[in-house]
């Protein structure tokens, strides 16, 4: 398996634009997590899914953020409209129940 695949690796966009981050989890994993990493706040859990169903989205900072998982092999995190304070590295991770999670390489988002 190729591991968790995120795209794009880097994204630079202008304030106000829509941004979509993509994630392909490892096949067979029931759980998918989205995290945001910044120097100030560390690694924050934004939302996680179990069997494609969102379980807890309490970490999503604002209504500008939304996440979907239309099937077991694909998830998106969308920011609309984007703001400079959204600049961060966004990680996707997947796992079986209980066990360790596997992380993607992350998407570095810069909003100017």
What is the contact surface with other proteins in residues (CB under 8 A)?
4, 31, 33, 35, 41-43, 45, 48, 50, 55-56, 91, 93, 95, 97-101, 103-106
Which one, 65 or 104, has the nearer CB to other proteins?
Answer: 104
What are the structure tokens assigned to 13, written together?
A: 């966009």
For residue 39, the minimal CB distance to other proteins (Å) is 10
Which one, 57 or 74, has the nearer CB to other proteins?
Answer: 57
Which one, 81 or 87, has the nearer CB to other proteins?
Answer: 87
For residue 23, the minimal CB distance to other proteins (Å) is 12
| Cβ-Cβ contacts under 8 Å for 17 (sequence gap 6 or more) | 81, 82, 111
Instruction: Compute φ and ψ for 84, nearest 5 degrees.
Output: -55, -35
Distance between CA atoms of residues 8 and 22, nearest Å: 7
């Amino acid at each position: 398996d190729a591991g968790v695949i995120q795209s794009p690796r880097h994204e630079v966009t202008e304030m106000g634009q829509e941004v979509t981050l993509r994630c392909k989890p490892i096949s067979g994993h029931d759980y998918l997590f989205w995290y945001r990493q910044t120097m100030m706040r560390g690694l924050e859990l934004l939302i996680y899914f179990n069997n494609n169903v969102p379980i807890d989205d309490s970490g999503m900072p604002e209504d500008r953020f939304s996440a979907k998982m239309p099937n077991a092999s694909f998830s998106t995190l969308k920011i609309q409209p984007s703001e400079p304070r959204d600049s961060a590295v966004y990680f996707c991770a997947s796992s079986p129940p209980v066990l360790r999670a596997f992380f993607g390489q992350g998407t570095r988002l810069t909003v100017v």
